[in-house]
Structure 1
Amino acid sequence: MSTLSVVITGGTRGIGFGLAKRFLEKGCKVTICGTSTQSVRKAVHELAAFGESAVGTVADVGKRSDVESLLDVAVKKFGPVDIWVNNAGITHDTLKVWELEQATIEDVLRVNMLGVVNGTVVPFLEMQKQGRGKIFNMEGLGSDGFMMEGLSVYGTSKSALRYFTRAFANEAGSSPVQVGTLSPGMVVTDLLLETLHGDSPETRKKRKFYNIMADDVDTVTAFLCEKMVLSTASSPRIEWLTKPKVIARMLLAPFRRRELFNGKSED
């Protein structure tokens, strides 16, 4: 495992940063990207505490040329890429579709959909040449058809991501490259926190639901990292919050208290 080279888009914060930490702890070589020089430098500096083999670069995943440049950085620094994680994604304010600015809608769809297309095609072509590799696309709210009012555009982008990944894997056929998805469930990241504003009845309802279903970044990324390394399926779907786990949490909710938004969790 120590020889694995891993690329993580959107690796400067949240799940992406958590995955970078986990891979570094396992001795892997990690390349991340972010949208600003400042965020990338800060992340790489912080990742140095978990391993010595981390580099970062600025990239807009909505631009294929930027994704190609990210690949070049990784290959020149660490050699052939073994695992590529398309984690980069953005959300929007909790508003109905007609209340969103057109520019916001376009940004979400460009990053979350076009970014995944670019982030799958570019490494796939390189991995085909080297005869091996794994590509994972990060699912999110909407991937399984679940709807939350005010997040229709974001949910649409994640639903499309799941379909695209399955369709791409099907078209890839007997390729030696694995193309699959990661399903982290609900994770306490900035993206999740952005759906909680103020102390309205709706916000309190969401917070209660999140406290039942959500998990911290470190717990989820440790699971995903391990499963990615061990995966052998041609089109894997690595899922943290499975249906049996959801049912168990709902049944146990009246008997346990979890407070994920003040640093405390009681199981």
Structure 2
Amino acid sequence: MKGKVAVITGATSGFGKGTAEVLAARGVKVVISGRRKEPGENLVADIRAKGGEAMFTYADVNDEASVKALVNRAVEKYGRLDLAVNNAGISTEGAKIAESETARFQEMIQTNVLGVYFGMKYQIQQMLKNGGGSIVNLASIAGLNGIPYTGAYCATKHAVVGLTKAGALDYATQGIRINAVAPGAAKTDIIVKAITQGVYDEPSIAAMHPMARMGLPHEIVNGIVWLLSDEASFVTGHVLNVDGGFQAK
């Protein structure tokens, strides 16, 4: 992977941050994007201190022009685009469908669906100029199942799976692989904070998974990096479950 160029959305925390760190350690030039400048710049500084190459670019996946500009900046800086991770996403409500708020569903559609669509659209355009590339979208166990109180979120992540599979078929003969990772519940900083504040109950979340525990961020990152790499060169249109056996139930 050394010398390749990657763009990661939502890269200032969680899986996006972890992916940026691993890719940079493998010699990838990483374009970190998000809406929070300070943690983005801090991550760039950490990567550079370890001998890696990275830059931070503000980008809001809700805005098509912002996503297009992100890809353009990556190419202006590094000359090409080889890898992309569409990681930015939100979950803003837990409610039964009849009790849910339409505005919150629309927010999730904008970020989780259109944000991935915008990313793929402009990433693919550039990768076609390069002669190929690899894209990984962040889906979820909620993108392959129905989960109570998450109807809106489930719908958006099912859409991510659909975009992934259709895109993979569209470009299967043009050197572009498009896959997705479907994580189970993992101990990202945001989730750990919510558990500490009593918003979530860790034993209950762990019990959802046959392995009887939550995932660790690096376990999901390892799946993302593998799909991006040439080790997965014959893999496209695949949704990799990194979920402690959730899908096997």
TM-score interval for Structure 1 and Structure 2 normalised by the shorter chain: 0.7 to 0.9
> Are 1:112 and 1:158, in contact at CA under 8 Å, matched by a contact in 2?
yes
Change (3 A) 1:97 1:227: same
SS of match in other structure, 2:143: coil
Change (3 A) 1:194 1:234: same
**Aligned counterpart, 1:214:** 214
SS of match in other structure, 2:81: coil
> Are 2:29 and 2:54, in contact at CA under 8 Å, matched by a contact in 1?
yes
SS of match in other structure, 1:157: helix
In the superposition, the TM-score normalised over structure 2's length comes to: 0.85
Give the aligned residue type for 2:165. R
Q: 1:83-103: CA deviations, max 9, x gaps?
A: 111111111232233444433
Alpha-carbon distance in 2 for matches of 1:231, 1:48: 28
> Are 1:94 and 1:195, in contact at CA under 8 Å, matched by a contact in 2?
no
Q: 1:190-236: CA deviations, max 9, x gaps?
A: 55458756388x77523443672421112331343134212212624
Give the deviation of 1:72 after TM superposition.
1.4
Give the deviation of 1:137 after TM superposition.
1.0
After TM superposition, where is structure 1 displaced by more than 4 Å over at least 4 residues in a row?
Answer: 190-197
**Aligned counterpart, 1:156:** 155
SS of match in other structure, 1:32: strand
Give the aligned residue type for 1:141. I
Aligned Cα RMSD in Å? 2.7
**Aligned counterpart, 1:239:** 240
Alpha-carbon distance in 2 for matches of 1:106, 1:237: 27
> Are 1:183 and 1:237, in contact at CA under 8 Å, matched by a contact in 2?
no
Alpha-carbon distance in 1 for matches of 2:157, 2:46: 29
Q: 1:143-172: CA deviations, max 9, x gaps?
A: 212x32222211111111101211222233
Change (3 A) 1:194 1:140: farther
Alpha-carbon distance in 1 for matches of 2:151, 2:191: 15
Give the aligned residue type for 1:237. H
Give the aligned residue type for 2:185. M
Alpha-carbon distance in 2 for matches of 1:93, 1:100: 8
Give the aligned residue type for 2:149. G
Give the deviation of 1:240 after TM superposition.
4.9
> Are 2:206 and 2:214, in contact at CA under 8 Å, matched by a contact in 1?
no
Alpha-carbon distance in 2 for matches of 1:155, 1:57: 29
Q: 1:29-54: CA deviations, max 9, x gaps?
A: 10011113234223323433444311
Give the deviation of 1:189 after TM superposition.
1.7
After TM superposition, list the pairs within 5 Å mapping 1:72-83 onto structure 2.
Answer: 72-83=72-83
Q: Name structure 1 gaps, 5 residues minimum.
A: 251-267
Give the aligned residue type for 1:28. V
